Structure 1
Amino acid sequence: MSRVPTVKLSGGLEICRIINGMWQVSGAHGAVNTAKAVEAMQNYVDAGLTTFDMADIYGPAEEIFGQFNSQLKSTLSGKDIPAVQSLTKYVPRPGPMDRKVVEKALQHSMTRMQVDFLDCVQFHWWDYRDKRYLDALGHLSDLQQEGVIRELALTNFDTQRLEEITNRGIRISSNQVQYSLIDQRPAARMEQFCLANNIQLLTYGTLAGGLLSERYVGKAEPKSRAELDTASLSKYKNVIDSWGGWRLFQELLVALETAARRQGCSVASVATRYVLDRPAVGGVIVGCRLGVAGAGQHISDSVRSCSPDLLLTAEDHSAIEAVTRRSRDLMALIGDCGDEYRS
């Protein structure tokens, strides 16, 4: 097993700085063979990538993790069982947020994941005008004190609400937000607050669904559904359009490819490392290719991106930022982190 750098969250849970994202099994990226997905998880753990990110709304993600977790325990024993960390999300529909509702949701996740407690619950709320998110977080905080949850975290909350929640005495370990070379909104306000309050940023979209890779260098702009055939590609192509368009994106890819050649790594590794090096970023979530061909290179790129000998130089930064500074201001266009999910 490789030594993948880790970060310790405020409640003491140690997680990998490269996190295996399981949104790909939600159904939005095509059919998933559960048995193959469970089998493929072992390849990530063998590479030292032992932290998995999922959600109650990611289709069978929690169940797939549960089957894998159970399989680990049944085939290995004692010290031979590798420590595996599971980060899930609680994404309730609008409605009453009394303790029984919250407890029932967490118990459902624990049953699916085949665990006795939850390593980390990342809470998401759709509508800030409905202040019952504070009720839910109050109950989650109580359940954390009772040992049901180890880490209490957020997903796609903005800086204003993050400050509001923290000021109520609720300890938040991390906030999962979109952060990449294309979307650098967390740098505007959120990073500073997180650094001051021991909150880690766990970032997604860092590779723009795979668009930030050699595959797209010098390629014509994809526009059809056939070319943008996954939820990730479609989503992040829209982000690129807002950011500055395909022509500017090609300039960014050239800068990344040049840096990658200097560093002896892939474009994906450079793009990941750039975000890993940002203040307050604890980890980058990279989508798992569970049961999909080509996962070996994907895993290798992830491990390489956090290697101590991959150090982006001042020349690398200068070339990259010469492109990104010419992009549009997504903070002005979209708003703070997570605002894209709210009207």
Structure 2
Amino acid sequence: MEPAHETFQLGPFTAPRLWTGLWQLSSNAWGAASAPKIRQAMGRHVNRGYTAFGEHGTCVVSHTGDETVQWPEWQADHYGSAEILFGQFRASLETPGAVLGATKYCVFKSIKISRETVEAAVRQSMQRMRCERIDLLQFHWQDYELKSDYTQAVEILNQLKAEGLIAAIGLCNFDSIRTDEICSQFPGVIASTQVQFSLIDTRPLYGMADVCTKHGVKLLTYGTLCGGFLADKWIGEPEPDPYSGSLNPSQRKYLDMIKAWGTWALFQDLLRVLRDVGYRHGGLSVSNLSVRWVLDHPAVGAVIIGARLGCSEYSDDNSKVFGVSLTDEDRECIDKVLKRSNGGRLLQTIGDCGAEYR
């Protein structure tokens, strides 16, 4: 019998601990499928218990002047049609409320924050997702110098939450200092924060996890499989050429992360250790063990696994992470490799969570 999906509390929701990430709908570089095939794939995921989806929504790309400038001129969905496809799918369900949808409000350049601009972004996502309330609205802000503006945006989002337009508010790619600052200024308002976290990128363990524990915030992690590099198929493979055209955008990004973490030879050592641990647990995959390792950290609520819906799916394999208990011996074997890496120094070489986006 397949083990039951694990859950955690996220604001008013009892949410699954594995989410389906929809960022790969942003470009044909990950592979393309028709809208009907994508919606069918969403249905297969829900039938297997993957009832939470993370898409990427409204992005403020530029606006520095007159507040009378209206939404269509300066905001856009920067990750393709994920919100629209998800909205179409959920609207087709007999019980749409059984599926949780998270989206984002991302500000990449300086804007003049107002109730009008923030509410316009939220309502645009609501329209695209065909919902009367956004389940989880995750907020990203690029320019930390504008502290009064990003705290004002959180205050407005909290007002919209009180008015019923948002069920839960999260952050995305904020660092530990600003996460602590926002949670202290708005106690009990932030339910989650989305950050990159994996065996390769352990930066959340050096500050962010403590901040989350302090404020009762849950980590939603992405990049946990390093764009698919943390998988059995890479065992024994030579280091790929990032300019060969054979890698998708995620793989190019996470290959850089692996190089910052250590050498390709050391990465191969990690893959082999994970394979050996998997053998001891009845043949679990490298990916299974990589996800389980992250889920076992108390501050983590869920791991978001990107899916090329309609192209390739691994829901059967991913479900094997439930019911797995890593032993002290397992962790010791993994830690021996991690201690040989630069993982503990990434905070200095790259910066805290989200620094690579600033």
Deviations 1:86-142 (A, max 9, x none): 011111343111011011101110111011100000000111112211111110011
1:177 aligns with 2:178: no
CA distance in 2, matches of 1:239, 1:224: 12
Deviations 1:271-314 (A, max 9, x none): 00000001200000001220014x1xx10122111x12x11111
CA distance in 2, matches of 1:141, 1:22: 25
Residues 82 and 174 of structure 1: is their aligned pair in 2 closer, same or farther, counting only changes over 3 Å? Answer: closer
Q: Is the 8 A contact 2:32 2:311 kept in 1?
A: no
Q: Is the 8 A contact 1:30 1:230 kept in 2?
A: no
Deviations 1:27-68 (A, max 9, x none): 152444222111110110010010000111221000010110
Q: Return 203-212 or 332-341, whichever deviates more.
A: 332-341
1:315 aligns with 2:329: yes
Structure 1 residue 224, shift from structure 2 partner: 4.1
Structure 1 residue 227, shift from structure 2 partner: 5.9
**2:20 partner amino acid:** N
Of 86, 91, 109 in structure 1, the residue corresponding to residue 101 of structure 2 is: 86
Deviations 1:232-271 (A, max 9, x none): 1111000000000211100000010001111121110000
Of 180, 194, 199 in structure 2, the residue corresponding to residue 163 of structure 1 is: 180
- 1:187-198 map, 5 Å: 187-198=205-216
Structure 1 residue 14, shift from structure 2 partner: 1.7
Equivalences, count? 330
CA distance in 2, matches of 1:273, 1:238: 23
**2:133 partner amino acid:** F
Q: Is the 8 A contact 2:169 2:190 kept in 1?
A: yes
CA distance in 2, matches of 1:83, 1:279: 26
1:122 aligns with 2:127: no
Q: CA RMSD in A?
A: 1.5
SS state at 2:103 partner = strand
1:272 aligns with 2:287: no
Residues 2 and 290 of structure 1: is their aligned pair in 2 closer, same or farther, counting only changes over 3 Å? Answer: farther
Residues 2 and 40 of structure 1: is their aligned pair in 2 closer, same or farther, counting only changes over 3 Å? Answer: farther
Which residue in 2 is equivalent to 1:109? 125
1:288 aligns with 2:307: yes
- 1:245-264 map, 5 Å: 245-264=263-282
Deviations 1:172-196 (A, max 9, x none): 1111000000000000111111111
Q: Is the 8 A contact 1:2 1:48 kept in 2?
A: no
Q: Is the 8 A contact 1:153 1:174 kept in 2?
A: yes
Residues 99 and 2 of structure 1: is their aligned pair in 2 closer, same or farther, counting only changes over 3 Å? Answer: farther
Which residue in 1 is equivalent to 2:35? 34
**2:296 partner amino acid:** D
Structure 1 residue 4, shift from structure 2 partner: 1.2
**1:148 partner amino acid:** L
Q: Is the 8 A contact 2:3 2:320 kept in 1?
A: no
Which residue in 2 is equivalent to 1:49? 50
**1:134 partner amino acid:** T
CA distance in 1, matches of 2:165, 2:347: 36
CA distance in 2, matches of 1:228, 1:7: 38
CA distance in 2, matches of 1:12, 1:272: 25
Structure 1 ranges of 4+ moved more than 6 A: none
CA distance in 2, matches of 1:121, 1:254: 39
SS state at 2:120 partner = helix
CA distance in 2, matches of 1:163, 1:98: 23
**2:183 partner amino acid:** T
Q: Is the 8 A contact 1:203 1:281 kept in 2?
A: yes
* TM-score, with structure 2 as normaliser: 0.89
Which residue in 2 is equivalent to 1:63? 84
Of 214, 229, 245 in structure 1, the residue corresponding to residue 232 of structure 2 is: 214
Where structure 2 has 5 or more consecutive residues not aligned to the other structure, the ranges are 58-77
Where structure 1 has 5 or more consecutive residues not aligned to the other structure, the ranges are none
Residues 321 and 2 of structure 1: is their aligned pair in 2 closer, same or farther, counting only changes over 3 Å? Answer: closer
* TM-score, with structure 1 as normaliser: 0.93
**1:121 partner amino acid:** L
CA distance in 2, matches of 1:193, 1:224: 35
Q: Return 40-49 or 129-138, whichever deviates more.
A: 129-138
CA distance in 1, matches of 2:30, 2:120: 29
CA distance in 1, matches of 2:98, 2:164: 19
